[in-house]
Structure 1
Amino acid sequence: MKLFRLILVFLFSAGMMACTNTPKSTAVYSPQSLLMDENFAGFEKFKVESEHEVFALDDEMMHFAEKVSAGAAEPKVAARQLVRAVFGRADLNLLYANDANTIARDTFHNRAANCLSMSIMTFALAEQAGMQIEFQEVDVPEFWTRRDGYSMLNGHVNLRISPKLSPNSIYFNPQTVEVDFDPQVASAKLPTRTVTKQRVLAMFYNNKAADALVNNDAKRAYAYSRASVLQDPSLAEAWVNLGVLYRQNGLLDEAERSYQRAIQLEGSRSAKENLAVIYNLTGREKQAALIMQELEQQRTNNPYYHFLLGEQEYELAHWRAAIGHYRRAIELNRQQHEFYFGLAKAYYEMGDLALTERYLKLAKRRSVNDHDEHRYQSKLNLLTKL
C-alpha cells in the first residue's frame, strides 16, 4: 500500500468530501496549545482576509443583486431568478476552477469559481437582495483530486434560500429553495446540515492554507491554517492541514497531535492516513500497517479511491496499472466523466489513439457542465489532427 502525501482540504469543488460514521465530538478545544508561531516567524506579514472582506459587495454587485431579483412576486421566484443569473453565461459567464479560492468580489469580477467561492458570492448577493440564506454542508463520499503531487480530499457545500421572515407575517409555506452548484450532488439527495457563516469562513481559510501548502509557501500556509483553527477549532480538516504543514517542517510530534485532534473531532480517515505516515517515520511500522489495512478495507468499494490510485499510477508513468484502477472505478460508478478521461489519457500515453478517442467521447457524454464538455471536445479536435 502506498503512502501518499494526503492533504484534506475543503476545496468545495464539483467533487466531494469525506463522510464517516463516527459521531462528531462535542468537546470544545483550545487551539492555542497546538499553535507553533515561533517556528513560522514572519507569518503575520501575510494578510488574512476578514469576514467583511470575504463577503463584501461593491456597487456593481449590489446593483446586480437588486436587478435580478426585482419584480418577483414570490420569494421562491426571486431566489430562482438570482440563481439563474449567477449560472447564466450572459450575466456572469462563471467558469469552474478548482483552485479559485476567492473572496466574493474577486469571484464576481474574475468570473471563475469553485463551489465554496461561488457559494460565498451567492450568499452575499442573496443577502443584498433581501433573502434569508443559510450554508449547508453535504455528507458525500470520499472524493480525491490530484494537484501538483498532492492527493486532495474535496468537500461540498450548498445553499438554502427562504423568505426573509417578518415578525408581523405568518408563512404557512416558506417556499424554500436549495441551491447546489453540482448537479450530481443535488440529484443524489444526500444528507445535509446547516453550518454557520463563521464555519464557512474557517473553510475558506483552510482552502487558502491548502493552496499555500501546494505552492510550498510555509509561512503563508501557517497564517491561513492558524486563522482557520482559531476561527473554528472544531473543523477537523483544518487540523489535518496544519499537521501536514508541521510534518513538512520537521515538527513530527506536533503533526501527530494535530492528526489526533482531527480524529477526536470526526474520526477523520485522512487524519488516520497521515498519522500512519508519522508512525512509519518514527519506527512504528506495525501501527501504521494496521491503520492502512483498516482504511483499505473501508475504501475497497469506493470508486473515487480507485480513481485516486489510477491518478497516482499515471503520474508514475505506470500506464497499465493506471488503466486497471480507472476501469475498477468505472465498474463501481459509470457516471463520472473523470474516470473515462483517465482511461483516455492513459491510452494516449500508450499510443492507442482509437481507445483515446473512444473514452474522450464517453467523458464528454457524461460531462455535467459546459466547461468540461468544451474541454473534452477541444481534445477530440486536437486528436483528429494527429
Structure 2
Amino acid sequence: MISWIMAVALVLPAAVLPTTVAVPDAEPPAREQIMAVPPELQARLRDEIVANHPSQNERLQQLVEFMFEPQGLGMAYRGDATYTVEQTYATREANCLSFTLLFLALAREAGLDAYPQVIEETLGWDQRDSTIYRNIHINAGVRIGGQRYTVDVASDSVIARQHPAPVSDQRLLALYYNNQAVELLAQNRVKPALAYMAEAIDLDPDYAAHWSNAGVIYLRNGDPAEAERAYTRALTLAPEHAGALFNMVGLYERIGDHNREAEFHRRLERVQQRDPFHHFLLAIDFEKNGNYRRAVEHYQRAIRLYPDEHRFYFALAKAYVQLGDTRRASRALLRAQAHSDGATRDLYQAKLESLRKPPDRPDIAH
C-alpha cells in the first residue's frame, strides 16, 4: 500500500494542470519584490483608473473590470501560476494567490483599503505522483466606509464551510513561499523547496500548515527525524490538523513504528469523521466504483455536517437516480434548489422537470 504524504497548496479545485508548468526560481525572491508594481503598470493604473475616478467605489469597480476585461489586463486562471506581481503582469496568468497579490498591490496604489483573506477549509484536492495536496483558497477584501467587499478570481468554483477571514500581509507572503516550495517539491527540486519553505516559516512560524509541509520536504530529502519534528510542531500549533496527522501516519508506517501509526490513525479518523468534505470525497469514490448505496450514506453524512451546500444535495440526487429512486432524487434536488440562486437554481429546476417526465429514466448528469 502506498503511504500518501499530504501537503497544503493554494491551487483551486479541479484545476487542470497545464502542459507547460510554471517553474519557480531556484533562489527565493526578496520579500519586497513579491508585490512590487512595475512602472508601466503603475502608469496604466494612474491614467486609466485613478485620474478619472475620484470616488473609492468607482475605483474599486473600475479596478475589477481592469483586471478581467481584455482591454485591461485580461487575467486568465492557471492553477500552478504562483507568481510575483511583476510576473503576473507579464504573463497575464494567475492562481488565487497571484491574483490576490496583484489586486492588493494595485488597490493600494489606487488608495483603497485592501487586505488579504483566507478560507482554510475548502473542498478541493490535487494528486501528483505520491503526494496529495489539500487546497485552501485566498482572495482580497476591500473596506469602503462601513462596507466590506470581497474580490475573488473563482468564488463559484470553491466549496467552503467558512467565510474568508482577514490575514496579515506577512501570512500572505509566507503563503507565496509555501506555494512555491510545494511546486518545487512536485518537480522533485528538493533543495530549492527547502529554501522557500524556510522563508515561509521565518515569516509565519505559528502557521501549522507550513510545518506540516516542511516535514513533507524533509522526508523527501531523506531526513525522517526532522520530518517528525516538523509534524510534531504542526500538531502542537493545531492538534487536529488533518494534513499533519495524515503525514504522521505515513511516517510511522514507513519507519515501522506500528503503535505510533495506530495512535495517529485513530486521531486522524476522529477528525475525518467530523469533516463533511471527507465524507463527500468518500461518496464520490464509492459512486465512481458503482457502489451507490454507500455513496448515498456518505453524501447524507456530509449534509448532516454541513447542510447549507447545494452541491451536496445535487450529488445525492444523482446517486438516488442511479439507484432508481426518483422520489428521493426529487427531494434532494428541491433541497439543492433551496440552497442556491440565480442560474444554478434554474439548472436544478430543469433537472426537477426532467425527473418528473415519464416514462424514460431521467438523466441529471451535470
TM-score by length of 2: 0.70
Gaps of 5+ in 2: 16-24, 303-308, 320-342, 345-366
**Pairs within 5 Å for 1:65-76:** 65-66=45-46, 67-76=48-57
Match of 1:107 in 2: 88
The one-letter code sitting in structure 2 at the alignment partner of 1:77 is: E
Partner SS state of residue 292, structure 1: helix
Cα separation, 2, equivalents of 1:205 and 1:47 = 11
Match of 1:95 in 2: 76
Partner SS state of residue 311, structure 2: coil
Match of 2:12 in 1: 13
Cα separation, 1, equivalents of 2:189 and 2:256 = 29
Cα separation, 1, equivalents of 2:221 and 2:255 = 15
Q: Choose which of 231, 238, 258 in structure 2 pairs with 1:259.
A: 231
Cα separation, 1, equivalents of 2:86 and 2:266 = 45
Q: Choose which of 260, 273, 286 in structure 1 pairs with 2:246.
A: 273
Corresponding position: 1:125 with 2:106: yes
Match of 1:346 in 2: none
Cα drift, residue 182 of structure 1: 2.8
Partner SS state of residue 335, structure 1: helix
Cα drift, residue 69 of structure 1: 4.0
Corresponding position: 1:229 with 2:201: yes
Match of 1:289 in 2: 262
Partner SS state of residue 108, structure 2: helix
**Pairs within 5 Å for 1:9-158:** 9=9, 11-13=10-12, 46-66=26-46, 67-141=48-122, 143-158=124-139
Cα separation, 2, equivalents of 1:322 and 1:108 = 47
The one-letter code sitting in structure 2 at the alignment partner of 1:223 is: A
Partner SS state of residue 253, structure 2: helix
TM-score by length of 1: 0.67
Q: Choose which of 278, 291, 311 in structure 2 pairs with 1:335.
A: 311
Say if 1:306 and 1:212 are closer, same or farther in 2 by CA, change over 3 A.
Answer: farther
Cα drift, residue 319 of structure 1: 6.1
Partner SS state of residue 206, structure 2: coil
User: Which structure ranks higher in relative contact order (CA pairs < 8 Å, sequence separation ≥ 6)?
Assistant: 1
Cα separation, 2, equivalents of 1:223 and 1:261 = 19
Contact 2:283 2:299 in 1 (8 A): no
Cα separation, 2, equivalents of 1:126 and 1:289 = 50
Contact 1:206 1:224 in 2 (8 A): yes
Q: Which deviations, in whole Å up to 9, do the C-alpha atoms of 1:56-76 show, x marking residues without a partner?
A: 111221123221344334212
Match of 1:359 in 2: none
Shifted more, 110-119 versus 182-191: the winner is 182-191
Q: Choose which of 278, 283, 289 in structure 2 pairs with 1:320.
A: 289
Say if 1:114 and 1:310 are closer, same or farther in 2 by CA, change over 3 A.
Answer: farther
Instruction: Indicate the RMSD between aligned Cα atoms, in angstroms.
Output: 3.6
Cα drift, residue 272 of structure 1: 1.0
Cα separation, 2, equivalents of 1:136 and 1:142 = 17
Say if 1:270 and 1:83 are closer, same or farther in 2 by CA, change over 3 A.
Answer: same
Partner SS state of residue 176, structure 1: strand
The one-letter code sitting in structure 1 at the alignment partner of 2:91 is: N
Cα separation, 1, equivalents of 2:290 and 2:4 = 16
The one-letter code sitting in structure 2 at the alignment partner of 1:280 is: E
Cα separation, 1, equivalents of 2:297 and 2:90 = 41
Cα separation, 2, equivalents of 1:14 and 1:112 = 17
The number of residue pairs the alignment matches comes to: 302
The one-letter code sitting in structure 2 at the alignment partner of 1:320 is: N
Cα separation, 2, equivalents of 1:326 and 1:158 = 32
Match of 1:4 in 2: 4
